Chains A and B, each alone.
Chain A
Amino acid sequence: MNEITHQPAAEHGEHEHHVTPPIVYMVIFGCLLVFTALTVGASYIEMGVFNPIVALAIGVIKATLVVLFFMGVKYSTKLTKLTLGAGLFTFLALIGMTLADYISRAWGRW
């Protein structure tokens, strides 16, 4: 009967469309500005090998905040999270495996 027209794939159809309240956006906005100031400051401090690590870490934190809250991934379906994960994985595979070649060239012959 008519209930059969319910799509199996559309458990997302039942998915509550989460509306993030503005206060969350404001807090995240503030955090992003703070982290920006932090990363600028960190570049003036001599930390040796940790400089790039700190810079990238702060970048990852900022990006994570944007992804989770501004883009709403925190409240999204598993499929969205999986899709994002797949993209990141492939991105890291490209960078990682290409860099592995370059880094290991310096190791010389066996």
Chain B
Amino acid sequence: MSDSTAIANGAPEAQHHEHPSYQRHHFESVEQQADATNFAMWLFLLTEIMFFGGLFTAYLIYRNWYYPAFVAASHQLNIFWGTANTGVLISSSFTMAMGVWCAETRRKSGLVLCLVLTFVLGLIFLGIKTIEYSEKIEKHHVPGFHYSVKNFTDPASDPETYKEYKDKPMPLDMARHTELYFFLYFAMTGMHALHMIIGIAILGFMIFRARAGAYTGGHVTFVENFGLYWHFVDIIWIFLFPLLYLISRHQ
């Protein structure tokens, strides 16, 4: 027979909670649930900070060691596309924040619009990245077997960049270090793009659910927590942009 000795001082509990359908049973209240999941998302973002931290460490070391190579290599990045992408991402952060506001103020169509805009801006960002990456692949700047240092030992071989920056020819050993720059470029922007892709996929799911009114009935935590993730991805780019594109455009 059941031997559940109830704690003598246990609080008398209502036999059946009145609670919204989206409240999980191990939580005492919706506030506790929202609080806990919000905190959980922040902790997850901490893991992301530390994950990217390793790459930033590598970047700082190699930039210090091989500064001329990094400068010359960064000239190979198109500042127009980079700045455009930064603008796109900041705008998507804005639309995402507005989306959270719409969810909080129960504006369903506003929320859907904001989510769709964020989604589209995210796709534009990825599209621009594709353009940039394919240019890098063409010019043999992808680290690995087909990497070529020709554009650095003989800058005139790349007329467009040479016209803008008039880089001097680099000795071979320093030119080889440009491969490290590009490894960092691809690893950091690639990891960032991977996070964008995941975010965009979740956005797609959210748009679908938002249209059904899932987030404008008082249960905003999913949108809020996703917003945190999206802003974090934006912040990573806020640092990647100057570190990779703007090392020195005056030299």
Touch test A–B (CB under 8 Å): yes
Q: Which residues of A contact B (CB under 8 A)?
A: 1-2, 4-5, 7, 10, 12-13, 15, 17, 19-22, 25-26, 28-29, 32-33, 36, 39-40, 42-46, 51-52, 55-56, 58-59, 62-63, 66-67, 69-71, 79-80, 83-84, 86-88, 90-91, 94-95, 98-99, 102-103
Min CB distance A32 to B, Å, is 5
Q: Of A43, A66, A80, which one neighbours B39 at CB under 8 angstroms?
A: A80
B250 engages A44 (CB within 8 Å): yes
CA A28 to CA B137, docked complex, whole Å: 37
B238 engages A98 (CB within 8 Å): no
Min CB distance B249 to A, Å, is 4
Question: Do most interface residues of chain B lie in helix, strand or loop, or is the interface mixed?
Answer: helix
A1 and B238 contact, Cβ closer than 8 Å, known pairs A19-B104, A22-B101, A90-B50: no
Min CB distance A48 to B, Å, is 10
Residue in B closest to A88 when the chains form the complex, CB atoms: B49
Min CB distance A3 to B, Å, is 9
Q: Of A20, A39, A94, which one neighbours B101 at CB under 8 angstroms?
A: A20
Residue in B closest to A94 when the chains form the complex, CB atoms: B53
Q: Could you give 27 example pairs across A and B, Cβ below 8 Å? A: A2-B12, A5-B13, A7-B29, A13-B35, A19-B104, A22-B98, A25-B98, A26-B94, A29-B93, A45-B250, A46-B251, A51-B248, A59-B243, A62-B238, A63-B235, A67-B231, A69-B97, A70-B231, A71-B227, A79-B39, A83-B43, A83-B46, A91-B49, A94-B54, A94-B57, A95-B53, A99-B60
Q: Which residues of B contact A (CB under 8 A)?
A: 11-14, 28-29, 31-32, 35, 38-39, 42-43, 45-46, 49-50, 53-54, 56-57, 60-61, 64-65, 79, 83, 86-87, 90-91, 93-94, 96-98, 101, 104-105, 227-228, 231-232, 234-235, 238-239, 241-243, 245-251
